[in-house]
């Protein structure tokens, strides 16, 4: 059985929100805006979904990383499966921690677009 003891509630120390997958030049260019908001990171998972993640600890964790509201936690927490945690599963295909890391990727992507 997989438990949260391995990471001490790592998933509860970040907040990740799925982004619309970029499809246009401007969409890809907009990724810079997200990355300018430190310490946000952008990543693409193995299913090619784009995410923005903010390192921010849940206020309901105790000093050992355990949930103090486990029995009454919100539905989003109840739906989370330990085996799907990024610590227990390799789900990140590409990660950009800042605009410099993203620039190399974007320089390749933008070649497929014609700019007006």
Per-residue pLDDT at 5: 58
Per-residue pLDDT at 115: 60
| 60 contact partners, CB below 8 Å, separation of at least 6 | 12, 67, 68, 69, 73
**Rg of the Cα trace of the chain?**
17
Going by C-alpha positions, the residue among 93, 86, 90, 11 that lies closest to residue 44 is 93
Per-residue pLDDT at 7: 60
Name residues of the chain where pLDDT drops below 50.
1-2
Per-residue pLDDT at 33: 96
Which residues face 16 on adjacent strands?
Answer: 53
Q: How far apart are CA 97 and CA 15, in angstroms?
A: 15
């Amino acid at each position: 059985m997989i438990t949260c003891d391995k990471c001490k509630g790592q998933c509860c120390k970040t907040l990740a929100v799925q982004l619309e997958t970029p499809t246009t030049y401007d969409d890809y260019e907009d990724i810079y805006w997200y990355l300018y908001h430190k310490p946000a990171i952008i990543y693409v998972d193995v299913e090619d979904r784009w995410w923005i993640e903010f390192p921010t600890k849940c206020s309901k964790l105790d000093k050992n990383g355990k949930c103090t509201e486990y029995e009454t936690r919100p539905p989003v927490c109840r739906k989370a499966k330990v085996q799907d945690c990024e610590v227990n599963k390799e789900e990140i295909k590409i990660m950009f921690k800042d605009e410099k890391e993203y620039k190399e990727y974007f320089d390749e992507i933008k070649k497929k677009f014609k700019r007006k």
